[in-house]
């Protein structure tokens, strides 16, 4: 099935998981608020690009501080300046202010991440949308996740133009708890799968 990409909303140029999450945040902001923190806890490696760039930035700042001490007066007695990175305190507000979508990896995305996201989002939409809306939402989400897996940007699809409304703020307690159960179930399936592979070897 093909979908119109003539949305009036701006294109999202980011690729992979980063692009998908930005699209999903745009289309379903309230569901995104449920999915994003669960994803970050389940697959921290899906944010390794951000963590690596943060570490590189910290290293660059340390070297700049070290260079700043050179040339101030007589520095002949200074042989080396080192910093213990663990002693550098990064305010928690800095990390918490970074949106999950901005911190996500670009490029190709592991199939285990997209598969888990598909299950989670599918479960949440079933609890919040009508049957025909769920089918459309799942098809579009699956298409966008396939593109994320291949390292492509999301198509500029406006889900509301396809009859899929934005899910309201007040998700029921049962719908919210679904996030937890799907996360637990996904973890159990991965564990069983890895145990099965280990037995085959």
Domain boundaries, the chain: 16-46+106-200, 55-97
Least confident of 73-87, 131-145, 149-163, 178-192: 73-87
| pLDDT above 90 as % of the chain | 50
Question: Residue range 32-38: average pLDDT?
Answer: 93
125-148 b/e (C-beta count within 10 Å ≥ 16 → b): bebbbeeebbebbbebbebbbebb
Nearest C-alpha neighbor of 24 from the set 99, 97, 98: 99
Nearest C-alpha neighbor of 26 from the set 10, 42, 3, 14: 10
**Using 50, 70 and 90 to split pLDDT, how confident is the model at 15?**
very high
Tell me the whole-structure pTM to 2 decimals: 0.67
**Using 50, 70 and 90 to split pLDDT, how confident is the model at 66?**
low
């Amino acid at each position: 099935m093909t979908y119109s990409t003539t949305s009036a909303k701006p294109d999202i140029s980011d690729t992979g998981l980063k692009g998908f999450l930005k699209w999903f945040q745009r289309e379903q902001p309230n569901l995104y608020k449920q999915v994003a923190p669960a994803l970050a806890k389940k697959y921290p490696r899906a944010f390794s690009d951000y963590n690596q760039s943060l570490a590189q930035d910290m290293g660059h700042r340390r070297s700049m501080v070290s260079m700043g001490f050179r040339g101030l007066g007589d520095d002949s007695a200074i042989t080396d300046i080192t910093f213990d990175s663990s002693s550098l305190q990064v305010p928690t507000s800095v990390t918490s202010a970074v949106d999950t979508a901005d911190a996500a990896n670009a490029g190709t995305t592991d199939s285990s991440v997209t598969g888990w996201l598909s299950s989670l989002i599918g479960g949440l939409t079933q609890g919040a949308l009508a049957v025909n809306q769920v089918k459309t939402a799942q098809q579009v989400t699956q298409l966008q996740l396939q593109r994320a897996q291949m390292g492509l940007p999301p198509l500029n699809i406006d889900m509301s133009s396809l009859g899929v409304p934005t899910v309201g703020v007040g998700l029921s307690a049962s719908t919210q708890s679904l996030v937890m159960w799907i996360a637990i179930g996904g973890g159990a399936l991965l564990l069983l799968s890895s145990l099965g592979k280990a037995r085959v070897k």
